[in-house]
């Protein structure tokens, strides 16, 4: 887990440098700092993941600053020592709220049974999906595209299949509150098509 949060936040030179940046550059800098000592299952530096999520969102035609900032930061609160309060202080309430919608609280104790724990997490994700803002929906789908793509090369078939089922369930929940009038709908649809194709290929054993 990343360290030096408080030290970073009291470093006046660092804060001054952050203030001089555009919000998206500031978000990128914070993401690199927060995930500096983290690695994924495949051994790659963790920062490759939020970077890829941002790339996928922009490739889908969305360059909204709020979305890009929150995409860089989407795992910071869940996976590091940085908090929602830190995000709000540096980026404002709106971006902090988007990140919060993408953050799944980790209970003090998950059930010892792996399958029960996974089901509880799936239900929590489905609950989050129904109340996500358009920005959060776009980011979450891009996040799952990247996770599924990465998992296809590293996970066992049974684990990958279960992960695909989980993704399918919360995407269905997300669709319940999505309409064509939604902000960022075109990017949402483009990314949704991509993730559906990946889920289908996994389910077909491709």
Angle between helices 134-151 and 48-59 (to 10 degrees): 120
Please list, in sequence order, all residues whose beta carbon lies within 8 angstroms of the beta carbon of residue 96, skipping any fewer than 6 positions away.
84, 85, 87, 88
What are the start-end ranges of the H helices in 42-113?
A: 48-59, 65-73, 76-79, 84-91, 93-101
Catalytic one among 41, 55, 78, 181? 78
Out of 58, 79, 94, 183, which one is annotated catalytic? 79
Q: Does the annotation count 79 as an active-site position?
A: yes
Question: How far, in Å, CA of 166 to CA of 118, rounded?
Answer: 9
Contact partners, residue 108, CB within 8 Å, separation at least 6 = none
190 as an active site residue: the answer is: no
Distance in angstroms (rounded) separating the CA atoms of residues 20 and 104: 31
Tokens of 141: 């789908």
Q: Which residues are catalytic?
A: 78-79
């Amino acid at each position: 887990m990343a360290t030096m949060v408080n030290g970073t936040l009291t470093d006046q030179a660092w804060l001054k440098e952050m203030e001089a940046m555009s919000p998206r550059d500031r978000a990128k800098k914070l993401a690199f700092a927060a995930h500096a000592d983290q690695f994924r299952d495949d051994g790659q530096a963790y920062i490759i993941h939020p970077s890829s999520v941002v790339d996928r969102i922009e490739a889908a035609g969305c360059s909204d600053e709020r979305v890009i900032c929150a995409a860089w930061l989407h795992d910071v609160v869940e996976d590091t020592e940085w908090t929602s309060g830190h995000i709000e202080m540096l980026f404002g309430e709106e971006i902090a709220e988007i990140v919060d919608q993408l953050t799944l609280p980790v209970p003090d104790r998950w059930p010892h049974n792996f399958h029960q724990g996974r089901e509880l997490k799936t239900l929590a994700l489905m609950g989050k999906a129904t109340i996500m803002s358009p920005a959060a929906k776009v980011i979450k789908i891009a996040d799952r595209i990247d996770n599924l793509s990465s998992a296809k090369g590293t996970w066992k078939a049974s684990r990958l299949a279960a992960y695909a089922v989980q993704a399918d369930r919360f995407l269905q929940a997300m669709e319940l509150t999505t309409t064509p009038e939604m902000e960022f709908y075109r990017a949402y649809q483009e990314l949704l098509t991509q993730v559906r194709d990946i889920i289908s290929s996994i389910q077909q054993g491709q």
